[in-house]
Amino acid sequence: MTRSILMPTLARIGALAILFLAVRGSFAEDGSAAWLRYAPVPAAKYESVPSRIVVLGDSITERAAGAELMRGLSSMLGRSFAVDAAARGIPHEKAIVIGSYQALGLKATDNTQLDAGIAEYSIRFTHEGGKARILIAGNSPNAELYGAFHLLEEIGSTQEIPAGETQIASAPIRWTDEWDNLDGTIERGYAGSSFFFKDEHVLTDLQRASDYARLLSSVGIDGCNVNNVNADLDLLTSEHLREFARIADAFRPWGVKLALSIDLTAPQVVGGLPTFDPLDATVTAWWKQKVDEIYSLIPDFGGFTVKADSEGRKGPAQYGRSPADAANVLGRALAPHGGVVLYRGFVYNNHLDWRDPKADRARAGVDNFARFDGQFEPNVIIQIKEGPIDFQAREPVSPLFAALRHTNMALEVQTSQEYTGQQRHMVWLPSMWKWVLDTDLQADNRSTPVKEIVEGQSFPLPDGRSRPGGFISVTNAGIDANWLHHPMAMANLYGFGKLAWNPNQPLDRIIDTWTRLTWGNDPQVDTTIDSLQLKSWQVYEGYTGPNGMGTLTNILGYHFGPGIESAERNGWGQWFRGEEDGIGMDRTAAGTGFAQQYPPPLAAKYDSLASCPDDLLLFFHHVPYDYKLHSGQTLIQSIYDTHYLSARAAGKYVPQWMTLKGRIDDDRYRQVLQLFTYQAGHALVWRDAINDWFHWKSRIADAQGRVGRHDGRMEAENMTTGGYESVDVTPWETASGGKAVVCRSEAGCSLSAPINQPEGRYDVAVQYFDSWRGVSKFELLTNGKSVANWPANDTLPPAQFDPHLDGQTSTRFTVQDVFLKPGDTLVLKGVPDMRGELNAHSREQAAPGAIDPHAREQRDYREFAPVDYIQLGPNGGLTPQD
Ligand code: GCV
């Protein structure tokens, strides 16, 4: 961990200069340092960087900025730096000087459009007569800190030190939401449990919370809402608030404000009132008193996030009140303290009638909020998910952004990859977010891209200033050392911060800087990783849900693997209406009318088949399977081809990654290799499930004859078994042939098959199912001789809770370079893990993300060494083969 690099605590940095000797050398790369590794760079390039750091201000954040400069520069440049904290004035000699614009005698941008609180910093580098000076000026301590981080980032990625650069944040709200529960679980968190809470209390050791705030701040994020929007009902007790104040203390040096998600029933549940009607005078008074109590403990508290009248949360609708009624009561209580309300636009009915052709969940945002436009208090911001459904691999942007003209808005995106591979697949989401941000909604027939709407520029305040708005990332970082489990996933958090600061930043610049800081400045490493990340969204979209249908994951389970029809014929409203005659939701004027919620130019574009883009076709239209796309292909053939191409592209990550062996540290090399190998195999599960299902539904064959034909594949249920039993898999498309085999004998079972292939060396891929609770064991043998053995111990996100054999638990192990000749016998032995109690009552809280988070089910935690098939492929095809 880089934390082992010596760093004096902030408290120890006094007014006296402190010499800091860089401790260099090797440290374990566990990913905890993320992009703040401060690895050595060519020091000669930066020899003019002064070794004295002068901090003019005395706030805790300015001191953090000085300490961070010392830590980063000494580590990267390999020499000593000294900090002069709370200095009296600008020194005459060489120095890096950090302070307010005023203290540095510089002027901030004179822009009356700007909200007064918007962070701005400038870096000036002068180098005259051997006297180098770097000035970092900010219009707030936070801004000074951002300037310090920016200088470090430029050096870390071997850029020139800016001679003169000014940066201004796009909007005041740049927050993350963490969906942590007080019991320590995290809803839709895929990197371990909470580093804020455990057993209904705030953790004693909040070092990691502080480290997290440092990471956030380094990319300009200045707020963190630490608890689930499905908030614990007793969250606001005085006892809890005193504990939350400790988190705020941990965040404070890094200029990150603490915020909380609240449940609107708190006046009743915590306050003991008979009602939580927002317009009841006792309720209003309760909120005011509660907010005052919070600020007495946390003077820089950020505000509340509210999920109400949605997915089982109670809300103002219970009393016939509107979102504005509820939000405004909170807004008025927070306003005197400078706090804000982020009221979520994610309000919809999850008991829709799927038989009703007019019913449409996508309509809910506009239907529920547009009529209250202009009725919200000035410190209320409507927090709107990027799309009208729920963080799918592709959706159109939410029309609500253009339906509110007199209301503050923030964009909510999800760094936690709920529908996009749960940090077991690499998907660089800034590519998607940039597409969202750049989408021009053309309100009032003028240019109104989403980015300018949430920056508050498109529909400004009556006095011409920008509306307060911004950007929220649902991140759900956990206790896994590297924060998000997949080393590549941190590029999403980094990219979020960068786009929230400036949505116009080019993607290639963002990813390249992240790569250099995270993996080093070796050009081969950087080019390889940049190009993998830049195409990863398209690749993931390509092997999951096509043409705007939604991700097609199992929406009634854990939103991870394929589960196509789980979206149909239930109240959740994620329907895509796959019928005999065709597929897609008709959201045109003749259908649900959703397209008409957009301003006229976009409404017309989406409503017409002639102009609706191919990648959103099935979101807006119901078309036959042989419908001709703009690309000239039929829909069905395009689906088949895209799935083959994309799964192959995901498979290629492995050999591309292997070219970097020895160029990066072994720890992270191995971790990524393992995850890419998993992704490659799971992409095939997706490919086959989607293609088989479309083949079955459309009854149209793949023109290239690939779908349903798997050369070299041996179905487990057709092999000679020693003890294995055949079982049906549900849904059928998530197992090859719809079947698998399980072994219920503690001694183990076997599968065997004679080899008919020509003599040669092969890759042998075993496709099996792995639930996290159990660790079955497998061994592959040829002619009685062991060639490989492995435990089924993947840490797949749903598998901890989901013992089912399906597209969520299907995984593969590939043995390379196996010599086979006709007449050989291939044997797979499986030994189940029978330790789990049969039908044990689960004592833990239901799975994060369970549809009913409070449900307790009976579960069978035994793992019966289940196998789907064995595939032989050409040797050196590199794992895994088609
Ligand atoms: C926190 C989706 C997720 C839920 C989440 C909800 C929300 O439905 O699956 O886990 O709840 O969105 O954003 O409120």
Tell me how far CA of residue 731 lies from CA of 346, 692, 738, 864, in angstroms.
29, 12, 8, 19
Mean pLDDT confidence for 508-536: 98
Residue 135: Cβ within 10 Å count:
22
Decide: 410 and 383 in contact? Cβ < 8 Å: yes
Query: CA-to-CA distance for 368 and 377, rounded, in angstroms?
Result: 17
Confidence at residue 113, expressed as pLDDT on a 0 to 100 scale: 58
Q: How far is the CA of 413 from the centre of ligand 1 (A)?
A: 12
Phi-psi region at 497: left, alpha or beta (left = phi > 0; alpha = psi -120 to 50): alpha
pLDDT band at 835 (very low <50, low <70, confident <90, very high): confident
pLDDT at 88: 83
Per-residue pLDDT, 846: 42
Res. 849 pLDDT band, cuts 50 70 90: very low
For residue 9, pLDDT beyond 60: no
Nearest residue (by CA) to ligand 1, atom 10, is 849
Ligand 1 pocket residue status of 307, Cβ below 6 Å:
yes
Q: Are 720 and 826 in contact (CB under 8 A)?
A: no
Please give the angle made by the CA atoms of 11, 16 and 21, to the nearest 5 degrees.
Answer: 80
| Residue 418 annotated to the active site | yes
Provide, for the chain, the percentages of residues in helix, strand and coil under a 3-state DSSP scheme, each rounded to the nearest 5: 30, 20, 50
Report whether 225 contacts 247 (CB < 8 A): no
Closest protein CA for atom 9 of ligand 1: 849
> Is the CB–ligand 1 distance for residue 263 below 6 Å?
no
Distance CA 343, CA 327 (A): 7
Compare 252 and 795 and report the one with higher pLDDT. 252
Structure tokens at 705: 């004859």
4 residue type, one letter: S
Measured CA to CA, the distance from residue 458 to residue 714 in angstroms comes to 59
What 8-state DSSP symbol labels residue 28? -
- Residues 535 and 265: their CA atoms lie apart, in Å, by 45
Angle of helix 281-297 relative to helix 323-334, nearest 10 degrees, comes to: 40
pLDDT > 70? residue 859: no
CA of 554 to the centre of ligand 1 (A): 14
Can you tell me which atom of ligand 1 is nearest the CA of 228?
A: 1
- Cis (ω within 30 of 0) for the bond into 278? no
pLDDT at 6 over 80: no
Nearest-CA residue for ligand 1 atom 2 is: 390
Query: What's the rounded Cα separation, in Å, for the pair 420 and 93?
Result: 53
> HSE (CB half, 13 Å, CA atoms) of 26?
5
179 CB under 6 A from ligand 1?
A: yes
**Confidence at 771, pLDDT banded by 50, 70, 90:** confident
Using the predicted structure, report yes or no on whether residue 477 has a pLDDT greater than 90.
yes
555-578 average pLDDT score? 94
* Ligand 1 atom, smallest distance to 848 CA: 10
Find the Cα–Cα–Cα–Cα dihedral 56, 61, 65, 70, rounded to 10°.
90
Q: What distance lies between CA 207 and its chain's CA centroid?
A: 23
CB of residue 802 inside a 6 A radius of ligand 1: no
pLDDT (tens digit per residue) in 578-591: 999 999 999 999 99
- Residue 408: Cβ within 10 Å count: 29
Q: Is 837 among the catalytic positions? A: no
**pLDDT value, residue 773:** 72
- pLDDT of amino acid 857: 52
User: How far, in Å, CA of 385 to CA of 451, rounded?
Assistant: 13
Catalytic residue among 30, 311, 377, 824: 311
pLDDT over threshold 90, residue 850: no
564 phi and psi angles, rounded to 5 deg: -55, -55
Question: Which ligand 1 atom sits closest to the C-alpha of 230?
Answer: 1
Residue 185 near ligand 1, beta carbon < 6 Å: no
Which of 82-96, 103-117, 118-132, 813-827 is most confident?
813-827
- Among all chains, which residue has been given the structure tokens 């990267």? 76
Count of beta carbons in the 10 Å neighbourhood of residue 527: 12
Of 115 and 607, which is predicted with more confidence?
607
Query: What pLDDT, in 10s, does the model give residues 41-75?
Result: 999 999 999 999 999 999 999 999 999 999 999 99
Name the E strands within 597-699.
none
Q: 484 falls in which pLDDT band (50, 70, 90)?
A: very high
Identify the residue whose C-alpha is closest to ligand 1 atom 12.
390
- Which residues, 6 or more positions from 509, have their beta carbon under 8 angstroms from its beta carbon? none
pLDDT tens for 730-764 read: 999 999 999 999 999 999 999 999 999 999 999 99
DSSP class of residue 395?
-
Q: In whole angstroms, what is the distance from residue 830 CA to residue 833 CA?
A: 10
Q: What value does the mean pLDDT take over residues 279-300?
A: 98
| Element spanning 412, H or E | strand 408-414
Span from the CA of 849 to the centroid of ligand 1 (angstroms): 7
849 close to ligand 1 (CB < 6 Angstrom): yes
Does 406 have pLDDT greater than 60? yes
Rounded distance between C-alpha atoms, residue 584 and residue 342, angstroms: 33
Predicted local distance difference test score (pLDDT) of residue 28: 73
Q: What is the pLDDT of residue 843?
A: 39
- For the chain, what is the largest distance between any 2 Cα atoms, rounded to a whole number of angstroms? 87
Q: In what order do the strands lie in the sheet with 164-168?
A: 18-20, 81-84, 52-55, 95-100, 131-138, 120-128, 164-168
Q: What is the DSSP string of 428-485?
A: -THHHHHHHHH-B--GGGS--BHHHHHTT-SS--TTSPPPS-EEEEE----SSTTSSS
The number of the ligand 1 atom at minimal distance from the alpha carbon of 849 is 10
CB of 368 closer than 6 angstroms to any ligand 1 atom: no
**Cα-Cα-Cα-Cα dihedral of 524, 527, 532, 538, to 10°?**
-160
Which residues pair with residue 726 across a beta bridge?
Answer: 741
Q: Is omega for the bond preceding 731 within 30 degrees of 0, making it cis?
A: yes
Average pLDDT value for residue range 15-37: 63
pLDDT-derived band at 801 (thresholds 50, 70, 90) equals low
Decide if pLDDT at 21 tops 60. Answer: no
Alpha-carbon gap, residue 83 to 16, rounded angstroms:
8
Instruction: With a cut of 90, say whether residue 10 has pLDDT above it.
Output: no
Residue 774 scores a pLDDT above 90: no
**Beta-bridge mates of residue 583:** 623
Q: Are 64 and 101 in contact (CB under 8 A)?
A: no
Please write the tens of the pLDDT for every residue from 202-235: 999 999 999 999 999 999 999 999 999 999 999 9
Q: Ligand 1: which residue has its CA nearest to atom 13?
A: 346
Q: Which of 692, 651, 747, 413 has its CA nearest to residue 564?
A: 692
Give the per-residue pLDDT at 12.
35
- Nearest Cα neighbor of 247 from 213, 286, 291, 290 is 213
pLDDT reported for residue 804: 85
How large is the average pLDDT for residues 228-246? 98
Q: How far apart are CA 704 and CA 691, in angstroms?
A: 13
Tell me how far the alpha carbon of residue 810 lies from the centroid of ligand 1, in angstroms.
25
For a pLDDT cut of 90, what percent of the chain falls above it? 87
Whether 861 has a pLDDT exceeding 80, the answer reads no
H or E stretch covering 618: helix 617-620
Give the pLDDT confidence of 642-669 residue by residue, as tens digits.
Answer: 999 999 999 999 999 999 999 999 999 9
pLDDT value of position 326:
98
On the question of pLDDT at 272 being above 60, the answer is: yes
Question: What beta strand segments (E) does 226-275 contain?
Answer: 257-262
* Residue 398 pLDDT: 98
Mean pLDDT to the nearest integer, 690-717:
96
Q: Select which of 62, 68, 144, 390 is catalytic.
A: 390
pLDDT score, position 797: 74
Q: Which residues contact 766 (CB under 8 A, 6 or more apart)?
A: 778, 780, 812, 813, 814, 815, 828, 867, 870
Structure tokens at 206: 């909040």
pLDDT at 111 over 50: yes
Pocket test for ligand 1, best of 390, 476, 551 (most atoms within 8 A of CB): 390
pLDDT of residue 590: 98
Average pLDDT, the chain: 92
pLDDT at position 856 over 80? no
The pair of three-digit structure tokens given for residue 769, joined into one six-digit string: 């199912």
Distance CA(73)–CA(96), nearest Å, equals: 11
pLDDT value for 131: 85
Pocket test for ligand 1, best of 311, 385, 570, 845 (most atoms within 8 A of CB): 311
Nearest-angstrom CA–CA distance, 291 and 330: 8
Q: Say what the alpha-carbon torsion angle 89, 90, 95, 101 is, to the nearest 10 degrees.
A: 110
Is the pLDDT reported for residue 845 higher than 80? no
Residues 6 or more apart whose Cβ sits within 8 Å of residue 727:
739, 740, 741, 742, 805, 866
Contact between 609 and 589 (Cβ < 8 Å): no
Looking at residue 800, its pLDDT comes to 54
**pLDDT digit string, tens, across residues 84-103:** 987 888 888 899 999 999 99
Q: Once rounded to an integer, what is the mean pLDDT over residues 809-828? A: 95
Please identify, by atom number, the ligand 1 atom nearest to the C-alpha of residue 418.
Answer: 9
Q: Does residue 390's CB lie within 6 angstroms of at least one atom of ligand 1?
A: yes
Residue 116: the pLDDT is: 60
Closest CA to 524 of 660, 657, 656: 660
Instruction: Kindly tell me if the per-residue pLDDT of 853 is higher than 80.
Output: no
Q: For residue 433, what pLDDT band results from cuts at 50, 70 and 90?
A: very high
Task: Yes or no: say if 584 and 618 are a contact pair by the CB < 8 Å rule.
Answer: yes
> 420: closest CA among 437, 432, 436?
432
With beta carbons less than 8 A apart as the criterion, state whether 302 and 213 touch: no
- Tell me if 687 sits within 8 A of 702, measured CB to CB: no
666 belongs to the catalytic site: no
**13/637: higher pLDDT:** 637
Give the pLDDT score at 854: 44
Which residue's CA is minimally distant from atom 3 of ligand 1? 849
Check if 474 has its Cβ closer than 6 Å to any atom of ligand 1: no
**Contact 171 CB / ligand 1 (< 6 Å):** no
